[in-house]
Amino acid sequence: MKVELIDHMGSDLTVVNAARVSFAKTSEWDVIPEAGKVEGFLKYEDERLINYLAKHNHWSPFGHASMQFHIKAPVFVARQLVKHQVGLVWNEVSRRYVDDEVEFYEPTEWRLAAENKKQGSSDETIEFSVKPTHEWCRQTYKNLLSAGVAPEMARMVLPQSMMTEWYWSGTLYAFARVCNLRCKPDAQKETQMVADQIDNFGRDLFTYSWGALRDDN
């Protein structure tokens, strides 16, 4: 699973000035960012402002900064993450249009079901190979295409373990909400793997704002 940062807009100072415009004021970096770096150092009062905004649910200033990612993950992970809609835009590869070689996610260990809850898994694992199943799906898909079946129908034999990829863009606040939910220990491990990578980019690009928005701070 891979998360690639494609682009971003704004900085912690963007959030600060989006809030201060309400009083017809602007702020500047206390220490200007070094060449090639996004962040400088905020003034103490601007750090306090960011923390105040997050603590008291003033979300709109955080909507003026954004990130864009190119993500590759299994279909079952994508279907969990696409549920997050507010402040986010999603465009995914479509097997109606492409019939490239199929790639599958194959874990080396399989977690057993948790005994005390309806969903989730335990720390106990077993070894199990699904390579024969994946190979059957891959070959059946190819056979259908060779027989002239439309890709939009042939894709029905491909399982949720198939890898997919998408562009995901959104506001700082929106991605922080994703990470607040999907980085938690009770989130599915594979989804955590994607969210953790997004979390790392957020911390690097928006040090003060991300720290204020994330629940683990």
Active site positions, annotated:
182
Distance of alpha carbon 32 from its chain centroid, rounded?
A: 30
CA-to-CA distance for 111 and 121, rounded, in angstroms?
A: 6
CA-to-CA distance for 96 and 119, rounded, in angstroms?
A: 32
Asked if 65 contacts 170 with a C-beta cutoff of 8 angstroms, the reply is no
Q: Give the DSSP per-residue string, 96-141.
A: TT--PPP-B---SSEEEEPSSSSS-EEEEEE----HHHHHHHHHHH
- In DSSP terms, 164 is beta-bridged to 73
CA-to-CA distance for 15 and 32, rounded, in angstroms?
A: 16
